[in-house]
């Protein structure tokens, strides 16, 4: 008869399932940092925090005015944090003109005037336009009232009568 002595089990720790999400989140954070760094450069903001604050405010204002498939595609084409800001907004009950949009942003930024708010909005939306591409930008502009093209850094060409 053979007698075996129980041997201690060697356990090999399984890879932590949280490593992959962290890597994915880090990539998403990098996307957010790249977006806000581009806004910082375009708007000539002195700090990253200022560029992030302005980006959040403008994206949240825009999120209420973009609907349907364009809203979904916009949120998906942006870094996770930016997409979350867009998607978390309740759709507006009536569309704002470009001027009203800028004025609404001005009320959200402490010490802002319509002129500085226009600068902030244009800084964010022109970077956004570069990030999402021409096709989606054109579809967003078709959905918004006239006048937004300039805010996205585009010529606002009106058809001749």
- For 106-152, the pLDDT digits (tens) are 999 999 999 999 999 999 999 999 999 999 999 999 999 999 999 99
Output the tens digit of pLDDT for each of the chain's 161 residues: 555 555 555 444 444 454 445 555 555 578 999 999 999 999 999 999 999 999 999 999 999 999 999 999 999 999 999 999 999 999 888 889 999 999 999 999 999 999 999 999 999 999 999 999 999 999 999 999 999 999 999 987 655 45
Q: Residue 18 phi/psi, 5° resolution?
A: -80, -10
Of the candidates 159, 77, 139, 112, the one whose C-alpha atom is nearest the C-alpha of residue 148 is: 139
Pair 123, 43: CB distance under 8 Å: yes
- Rounded CA separation 104/90 (Å): 15
pTM over 0.85: no
């Amino acid at each position: 008869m053979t007698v075996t002595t129980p041997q201690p089990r060697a356990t090999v720790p399984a890879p932590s399932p949280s490593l992959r999400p962290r890597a994915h989140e880090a990539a998403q954070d990098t996307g957010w940092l790249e977006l806000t760094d581009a806004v910082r450069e375009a708007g000539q903001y002195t700090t990253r925090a200022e560029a992030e604050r302005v980006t959040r405010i403008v994206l949240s204002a825009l999120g209420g005015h973009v609907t349907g498939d364009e809203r979904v595609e916009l949120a998906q084409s942006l870094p996770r944090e930016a997409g979350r800001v867009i998607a978390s907004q309740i759709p507006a009950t009536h569309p704002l003109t470009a001027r009203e949009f800028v004025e609404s942003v001005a009320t959200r930024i402490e010490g802002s005037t319509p002129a500085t708010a226009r600068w902030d909005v244009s800084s964010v939306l022109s970077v956004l336009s570069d990030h999402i591409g021409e096709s989606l930008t054109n579809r967003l502009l078709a959905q918004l009232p006239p006048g937004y093209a300039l805010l996205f850094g585009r010529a606002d060409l009106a058809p001749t009568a």
